[in-house]
Amino acid sequence: MSSVAPKILVTRRMPEAVNKKLKSHFTVSLNETDKLFTSSELRKALEEADGILCSVTEKFSRTILDLSKRKTQIISNFGVGLDHIDLNFAKSSNIVVTNTPDVLTDATADLTILLILSSTRKAYSWEKKLRSGLWSGFSPVEDLGVSLRGKTLGVIGMGRIGKAVARRAHQGFGMKVVYFNRSYIGSIDFPARPAQSIGHVIREADVISIHLPGDKSNHGLINKEKISLMRAHAHLINTSRGEVIDQEALVDALSSGRIAGAGLDVFQNEPHVPQSLTSLKNVTLLPHIGSATQEARDAMGFLAVDNLIAHFGQKQYPSRVV
């Protein structure tokens, strides 16, 4: 890097260890209030900063990026998903885009297992009953959940996180695994059977876990037709992107009892979650916290900073996308 440290603007409040690393390499503008940037503030940032460290909450559309006085050379994303950045325009405009894969795999996989257990054991319904003072004591037959042992987990998207979830489900709970992935994934170190299509997975599985990237080609992929293929006792889990599922169709299936339950960490139009979802007792809802461990968030931040260091130091990027 040059003797004059590049200016990096950080759009969200970051872990203190990440801030410390940033400050040791760059001139840094932090967002200590954690207030979301407006469109005009993002445009101004692009005109003033050499690089931006952002998160999924900032939408870098073509309208935002297409600036005659843009100074920013690199957008280092804190997270894996990049559907909030117009990658095609970034590429055509020579804007480098990086992300933070691998380091959040275990945290997200662990949370997926939490949602699977919560949905199949009706944890939210029971906790609500307890907190509301409606629990009358032990019952041998009331509102029973189901065991995972011997059941089939269907994984849609057998990437890093999908594999980690499937491995936990098989090794920890004795579940059988069937999966669909668009491309060949190579060898797997546990028993898992590929399916010909998403529909085949959905028809067969007792629990379906979604691990698809949030790009536009996947928006609404799990639609009313596919949800209708689910078994009546099946549960749908999503820790990928909310837009992947037709949320209205899922609400209809849950509210009608067409399917047994769901566990969701992501939603359409976050942070808005419709009352039609929050009012249901057969769904566990979490506020996009798949990677929300101290260890994962520190590692994500360090990797985002390493990408910035590589860019301005003219070194190989740890995880460049564009």
Q: Distance between CA atoms of 320 and 322, rounded to whole angstroms?
A: 6
Say if residues 264 and 285 touch (Cβ distance below 8 Å): yes
Q: Assess whether 288 carries a catalytic annotation.
A: yes
pLDDT of residue 214: 83
Instruction: Report the chain's terminal Cα–Cα distance, integer Å.
Output: 21
105-285: what fold?
Rossmann fold (3.40.50)
Rounded alpha-carbon distances, angstroms, from residue 86 to 164, 176, 215: 29, 38, 10
**Active-site hit among 48, 204, 248, 270:** 270
Positive or negative torsion for Cα 90, 95, 100, 101: positive
208 close to 226: Cβ distance less than 8 angstroms: no
Per-residue confidence (pLDDT) for residue 2, from 0 to 100:
53
Check: CATH 3.40.50.720 for 7-103+294-312?
A: yes
Instruction: Assess whether 84 carries a catalytic annotation.
Output: no
Q: Residue 126's Cα: distance from chain center in Å? A: 26
Contact (Cβ atoms closer than 8 angstroms) between residue 218 and residue 159: no
- Those residues whose C-beta lies under 8 Å from the C-beta of residue 222, and which sit 6 or more positions away, are 156, 198, 210, 236, 238, 244, 245, 246, 250
Q: Are strands 235-238 and 7-10 parallel, antiparallel or unpaired?
A: unpaired
Residue ranges in the chain modelled with pLDDT below 50: none
Span 23-41, pLDDT tens digits: 999 999 999 999 999 999 9
Residue 45 CA to residue 254 CA, distance in Å, equals: 43
Greatest CA separation for the chain: 72
**CA trace torsion 56, 59, 61, 67 (10° rounding):** -110
Give every strand in the sheet of 27-29, ordered side by side.
27-29, 7-10, 51-54, 74-77, 96-98
Pick the catalytic residue from 160, 219, 231, 288: 288
The CATH 3.40.50.720 portion of the chain extends over 7-103+294-312, 105-285
The structure tokens 């069937």 sit at: 178
295 included as an active-site residue: no
Q: Choosing from 43, 241, 297, 311, which is the catalytic residue? A: 241
Model confidence over 253-309: pLDDT tens digits? Answer: 999 999 999 999 999 999 999 999 999 999 999 999 999 999 999 999 999 999 999
